[in-house]
Structure 1
Amino acid sequence: MNPALCGLAVNEALPFELVGRLITIADADIAAGLAGRADLSREQAVDLASRVEESAVRLVHEGRLTAADINPLTQPQAALALLEQRAGDPEWARLLARDPDADRRAKLAACPGLPADVRETLAADPDVQVVAELALCTTPDLAARLARHPHAEVRTAVAGNEATPPQVLAMLITGEGLPPAERCLVCDREETPFTHDPHCPRLDCDLRSGASCAGSHESTLHEMAEQALWNPATPVGPLLRFADHPSSLLRARLAARPDLPPQSAARLAGDPVPGVRGELAQNPAIDEALIRVLAADRGHDVQRRLAHNPRVPLDVLSELATATKIGPSLLPRIAAASPSEIEDLSRSSNPVVRMLLAERRDLPAGIRDALADDPDAKVVKSIARHPGLSEAQLRSMVERHGSRVVAKVAANPETPPALLEELTRHTPLVQKGLREVARHPGATGPALLACLADSQTRRLAAGHPALPPEAIVELLADPDGLVVEAAAANPSLPPAVMAQLIPDPGGA
């Protein structure tokens, strides 16, 4: 990989004629960058796709190629990408349904809106993975038929399809009305009973870790239950049997269901595994009484996850802020707080509560300013990125709390250039602060030059358009390829230097 040419490929200031020159010498890495250019002409896109097949899929996703530009025989991946967007020719689907490459047929099976005859062809595919891919996203009627497929892998995919009729999903869970599955991926390949070694040394083995079959396809049926529990179309009634299942993973999936009945929720609140109770704690379906019970649960991560429940009462949230480490994040309940609740939270005696409130970016000016003057550094760190803060307020934060708030002040998009320069000279030096300065759209040349001293920050500063051109050119010789790539992608790189970096295919 040539880092300079890869950088030029995404440089928004690269002249049109140099884009064309770069296309003529592009490899897969360069083409990946070129394919994302907003200024790529249709002719250039077609040229690039014809030269580097890997770029054609990205060009399709970027809207640069249409069905008229693609030959499905020579560019099957691009044809599949267009079919995935419902923009391909239906005849391509009929052609690809008989492609000798099973991976391509599986990708086709995942495409929406396939013609009925193509779906039928794929449903009868000899490769079970192709049929399973179809089952995962096909129409309700075909999903209902595939629920009777003899292979458990296909039935597992049907269980994860949200278009599968609810009564069929219930049958997959209970087994009632369906013949037993005859095969699974394990007994297809191994003599049973067999349990796959999680540390299997065979390089050609693609069985899932822990896959097992003793004649009843145990691991695959477990996966089918997982899929059905995750699927919102599955009626909750048949799923309640998993409240006492030996698998804590299945109990956790049940605990996260938004349609979980209160009686089952109460039972799962006493589950011996904290992970199950944690899933329950974050479930917005649980009522206030159960929330208050779980607030006293000292199991690993239960209280922290309860704090993220959008229905947690604010008085409980205040208690949780003291009992567990939540960290600076905008909690759903804080985000939904009413104006009067915001006022109450801002006056909380608990600095963690004030910190959580300060994560909002739509606070009234008076409350924002009060939090900016807060004596607790963690509150100030959270409010430092709030819009509308004055330069005087930002400077005061740094004067009062020093290195603890430097990075957050530097990350505020409204921090003035002069203050950014001062933050690069702060003692002690704050590495995170330097990185934020290097990302800041208002950073000046002197501030960015100061960022070059740090190896990690240099990668960010090298791509900043305010970096002086002479410094950008020097960085093209940096031993770090990521720095070189960023410098070459910098729109302030002189065009003459850009031209020198690209070999002229017509030259001697």
Structure 2
Amino acid sequence: MNHVLCGLAANAALPPESVDRLIAVADDDIAERLAGRTDLSRAQAVALALRVEESAVHLAYAGRLTAADIDPSVQPDAALALLDRGAGDPAWAFLLAADPLVERREKLASCPGLPAGVVEALGADTDVRVVAELASRAEPSVAAGLAGHPHAQVRRAVAFNEATPPAVLAALLTGEGLPPARWCPVCEREETPFVHEPQCPRLDCDLPPGASCDGSHESTVHDIRRTVLGNPAAPADSVARFAAHPSALLRWALAARPDLPAEAYGRLAVDPVPGVRADLAGNPAIGAGLMNALAGDPGHDVRRGLAHNPRVPLDVLVRLAATVKLGTALLPRIAVAGPAEVAELARSQDPAVRMLVALRRDLPAEIRDALAVDPDAKVVKAVAPHPGLSEARLRAMVDRHGARVASGVAANPDATPVLLEDLTRGEPPVRRALREVARHRNATGAALRNCLADARARPLAAGHPALFPHVVTELLTDADRQVVEAAAANPSLPLAVMSDLVRRL
């Protein structure tokens, strides 16, 4: 891969004549970058599509090519992309339904709005992968018809399809009313009875560990049931009884469903598998009583899941803050807290609770400013990126807490160029602060040059348009390929340098 040319291909300041030259010599990597440009003319898009077909697929999805630009017999993958967008010629589907490559027929089966004759042909395809793809996306009547397909893999695809009628999904759970399946992914290739060993030595084997068939296709039937249980279209009364099923995977598939009766949720709340209880804890459909009970669960992931539940009672969340590592993401319940709740959280005696509300970016000025002078560094770091904080207040944060809050201050959208520059001069440097500065819109050339000292900030700084042009040019020979490509893509790269690099091709 030529990282300089790849970067140039993505450079928004590259002149049109240089774009033409790159199109003429593009390989797959360069074409990928060129296809992402927003300034390609139609002529350039067509030329690039003819040069590298994979770029034609990208351009078709981006709306840069139309049906008039594509010959499906020459560019079948681009034709499939347009059909997938609903922008292709329906007549192409008949041609592609007979394509010798199963991958293309499989892709066609996923396209919307196919003519009835094409759907019928794909439903009778000799390769089960094509039929399964069709079954996973088909309209209700087609999905219902494929529920009795002789291959269990197709039935599993029907089980995944949310357009499958609820009665058909219920039948897939029990098998009642459906003819027995004749094949599954196991028995079509192995002599039964067969159990796939977890550490299979065969390099060409793609059966999952534990896959088995004794003639009843048991592992695939289990997968079908698990898929139905995760399908929101499956009727609640049919799936609820699986809350007591011996299979942990089937019980687990129920834990996030929003439509189970309270009795089923209660049974799952005492499930012996922590993962089941953790997914249940994050389910907004469970009641406040169950949430209170789960707040005392011994599993950390269970309590963490509850903390991320958007309907967890605020008093329960406050209790959880003292015992659960919640990270720095804004919790859904905190995001929807009302003004009175926000004020209450900000006054909490527990800094872990104050930190939770400090992560919001729409705080009233008085609460934001009070949290900015909080005695706990974690709270200050959380509020530091909040818009509206003055330069003086941001500097006071750094003066008081130093490196512990520097990255948060550097992430503040209102941080001034001078402040950002000062943050990059720390001794020793705060690495995370350098990375924030390197992506900041207000960063100066001098600040960005200082950011080059950090390996992870270096590519970010190399692509920043405020970096000094002569430094950008120097970085074209950097030892780090990411830095080279970022520098070549930097619109501040001198035009003469760009033209010279292209002229050498």
Q: TM-score range by the shorter chain?
A: over 0.9
Aligned mates of 2:112, 2:93 — CA distance in 1: 11
Select between 149-158 and 420-429 the one with higher mean Cα deviation: 420-429
Q: Which residue of 2 aligns with 1:361?
A: 361
Shift of 1:247: 2.1
Shift of 1:51: 0.7
Aligned mates of 1:174, 1:131 — CA distance in 2: 22
Q: How does 1:98-137 map to 2 (within 5 A)?
A: 98-137=98-137
Q: Which amino acid aligns with 2:358?
A: A
Shift of 1:197: 3.3
| Equivalent pairs, count | 505
Q: How does 1:446-485 map to 2 (within 5 A)?
A: 446-485=446-485
Aligned mates of 2:185, 2:54 — CA distance in 1: 31
Q: Is the 8 A contact 2:300 2:324 kept in 1?
A: no
SS of the residue 2:272 aligns to = coil
Q: Which residue of 2 aligns with 1:309?
A: 309
Q: Is the 8 A contact 1:83 1:111 kept in 2?
A: yes
Aligned mates of 1:67, 1:504 — CA distance in 2: 36
SS of the residue 2:352 aligns to = helix
Q: Which residue of 1 aligns with 2:497?
A: 497
Shift of 1:321: 0.4
Q: Which residue of 1 aligns with 2:211?
A: 211
SS of the residue 2:322 aligns to = helix
Aligned mates of 1:199, 1:395 — CA distance in 2: 57
Q: Which residue of 2 aligns with 1:346?
A: 346
Shift of 1:376: 0.7
Q: Runs of 5+ in structure 1 lacking a partner?
A: none
Q: Is the 8 A contact 1:403 1:428 kept in 2?
A: no
Q: Which amino acid aligns with 1:472?
A: V
Aligned mates of 2:502, 2:196 — CA distance in 1: 51
Shift of 1:237: 1.1
Aligned mates of 2:464, 2:225 — CA distance in 1: 50
Q: Which residue of 1 aligns with 2:318?
A: 318
Q: Which amino acid aligns with 1:430?
A: V
Alignment of 1:237 onto 2:237:
yes
SS of the residue 2:38 aligns to = coil
Aligned mates of 1:182, 1:222 — CA distance in 2: 16
SS of the residue 1:190 aligns to = coil
Q: Deviation string for 1:343-386 (max 9, x for gaps)? A: 11111111111111111111111111111111111111111111
CA spacing shift, 1:57–1:198, aligned 2, 3 Å: farther
Shift of 1:469: 0.8
Aligned mates of 1:323, 1:349 — CA distance in 2: 15
Aligned mates of 2:52, 2:201 — CA distance in 1: 35
Q: Is the 8 A contact 1:475 1:487 kept in 2?
A: yes
Shift of 1:208: 3.0
Q: Is the 8 A contact 2:358 2:368 kept in 1?
A: yes
Aligned mates of 1:302, 1:237 — CA distance in 2: 26
Q: Is the 8 A contact 1:278 1:303 kept in 2?
A: yes
Q: Which residue of 1 aligns with 2:251?
A: 251
Aligned mates of 1:87, 1:473 — CA distance in 2: 42
Shift of 1:504: 5.2
Q: Deviation string for 1:436-469 (max 9, x for gaps)? A: 1111111101101111122322111111111111
Q: Is the 8 A contact 1:411 1:440 kept in 2?
A: yes
Aligned mates of 1:24, 1:193 — CA distance in 2: 58
Shift of 1:328: 1.8
Q: Deviation string for 1:254-311 (max 9, x for gaps)? A: 1111112100111111111111111111111110111111111012411111011111
Aligned mates of 2:270, 2:254 — CA distance in 1: 14
SS of the residue 1:191 aligns to = coil
Aligned mates of 1:404, 1:91 — CA distance in 2: 63
Q: How does 1:3-18 map to 2 (within 5 A)?
A: 3-18=3-18
Aligned mates of 2:198, 2:313 — CA distance in 1: 43
Q: Is the 8 A contact 1:21 1:504 kept in 2?
A: no
Aligned mates of 2:149, 2:100 — CA distance in 1: 23
Q: Which amino acid aligns with 1:4?
A: V
Shift of 1:226: 1.9
Shift of 1:92: 0.7
Q: How does 1:401-480 map to 2 (within 5 A)?
A: 401-480=401-480
Aligned mates of 2:412, 2:192 — CA distance in 1: 61
Q: Deviation string for 1:203-227 (max 9, x for gaps)? A: 3323234322122112211211121
Aligned mates of 2:175, 2:415 — CA distance in 1: 63
Q: Which residue of 1 aligns with 2:287?
A: 287
Shift of 1:52: 0.8
Q: Give TM-score, length-normalised by structure 1.
A: 0.98
Alignment of 1:296 onto 2:296:
yes
Q: Is the 8 A contact 1:174 1:238 kept in 2?
A: no
Q: Which amino acid aligns with 1:84?
A: D
Q: Runs of 5+ in structure 2 lacking a partner?
A: none
CA spacing shift, 1:251–1:53, aligned 2, 3 Å: same
SS of the residue 1:341 aligns to = helix
Q: Which residue of 1 aligns with 2:265?
A: 265
Q: Which residue of 1 aligns with 2:195?
A: 195
SS of the residue 1:189 aligns to = coil
Q: How does 1:25-64 map to 2 (within 5 A)?
A: 25-64=25-64
Select between 125-134 and 304-313 the one with higher mean Cα deviation: 304-313
Shift of 1:503: 4.2
Aligned mates of 1:55, 1:262 — CA distance in 2: 52
Q: Which amino acid aligns with 2:137?
A: C
Aligned mates of 2:488, 2:330 — CA distance in 1: 37
Q: Give TM-score, length-normalised by structure 2.
A: 0.98
Q: Deviation string for 1:160-216 (max 9, x for gaps)? A: 101100111111112111112111011111111222234433333232343221221
Q: Which amino acid aligns with 2:6?
A: C
